[in-house]
Amino acid sequence: MGDMTVRICYRPPDQEDSVDEALYRQIGTASHSQALVVMGDSNHPDIYWRDSMAWHKQSRRFLDCVEDNFLMPVIEKPRRRGAMLELVLTNREGLDGDVALQGSLGCSDHEMVEFEILRTVRRACSKLTALDFKRADFGLFRNLLSKVPWDIALEGRGAQDCWLIFKDHLQQAQECCVPTRRKCSRRARRPPWMDKELLRKL
C-alpha cells in the first residue's frame, strides 16, 4: 500500500480560529500520505455530512478542510439528534472495513468505533458507466447510420432540428453497437482532473 498515517484529534468546542487553522494545516500535510485515517471529535454537531452542509462559520471551515484534502467520512449515519459524534475520515475509499459501533464507554455520550484498516485497499466501483469503445462493433455502427435517409430526414429543417435528429440516430446506433462498462477507481470520489502529477505538485 505504501505509507499510511493515522491521526487522532480532539477539538474543544471553544477552540480559537487560529488554533483551528493550525489543525487544518496539519491535516493538509498529513493528507499527502497515500493512505490517511483521521479519528476523533471535531465538536461540529451542525455539519450535515450527507449533503456537505454546515450552519456555523467554524463548521463550514472544517468542512472545507475535509473536502479540500479529499477526505470522506467512514461513518455516515448520525448518532445523536442528527449529529455524527464519532468522526472517522479517510482519503482512500475501501481503506476501512467491518465498521461497527460498540456502545458507550462508561457514561460518555460517544460510542466506541471498531473497524479494520485493510492492508490492501479494495477497488471501489462507482455507479458511473462509460462507453467501452474497445468492444464496439464499428462495422454495424457505420451500416446503421448509412441506412438512414438523411436527405429526407433533414429536408427543410433548421440547424437545431437537424442536430437533434442526427444526435437521436447517432445515440440509437451507439446503444446497439457500443457496450458500456462500470468505471472503477481507487479514488472513485476524486474529480477526474485530479491526477497523480497534480497531486505530487500539491
User: What is the per-residue pLDDT across 98-121, written as a single tens digit (0 to 9) for each?
Assistant: 666 666 666 666 667 776 776 654
Task: Write down the pTM of the prediction.
Answer: 0.48
Q: Does 48 score more than 70 pLDDT? A: yes
Overall average pLDDT of the 117-134 stretch: 63
Q: Under 8 Å CB-to-CB from 178, ≥6 apart: which residues?
A: 131, 132, 133, 135, 136, 137, 141
Other C-beta atoms lying within 10 Å of the C-beta of residue 69: 19
Average pLDDT value over all residues in the chain: 77
Residue 128: the pLDDT is 59
Does any domain span residue 197?
no
Does any domain span residue 82?
yes
174 and 105 share one domain = no
CA separation, residue 60 to residues 47, 63, 72, 138 (Å): 8, 5, 15, 50
Cα angle 180, 181, 182 (rounded to 5 degrees) comes to: 135
- Burial of 74 by CB count in 10 Å (0-12 exposed, 13-18 middle, 19+ buried)? buried
28 and 57 share one domain = yes
Q: Which range marks the domain in which residue 30 is found?
A: 4-122
10 and 110 share one domain = yes
Does any domain span residue 189?
no
Residue 107: the pLDDT is 67
Does any domain span residue 186?
no
Residue 143: the pLDDT is 93
87 and 19 share one domain = yes
106 and 142 share one domain = no
104 and 80 share one domain = yes
Task: Write out pLDDT tens, residues 134-185.
Answer: 888 999 999 999 999 999 999 999 998 899 999 999 989 998 998 887 665 4
101 and 154 share one domain = no
Does any domain span residue 108?
yes
Q: Count of domains in the chain?
A: 2
Task: Write out pLDDT tens, residues 2-33.
Answer: 567 888 888 888 889 999 999 899 888 888 77
Least Cα distance to 67 among 80, 52, 50 occurs for 52
108 and 82 share one domain = yes
CATH number at residue 47: 3.60.10.10
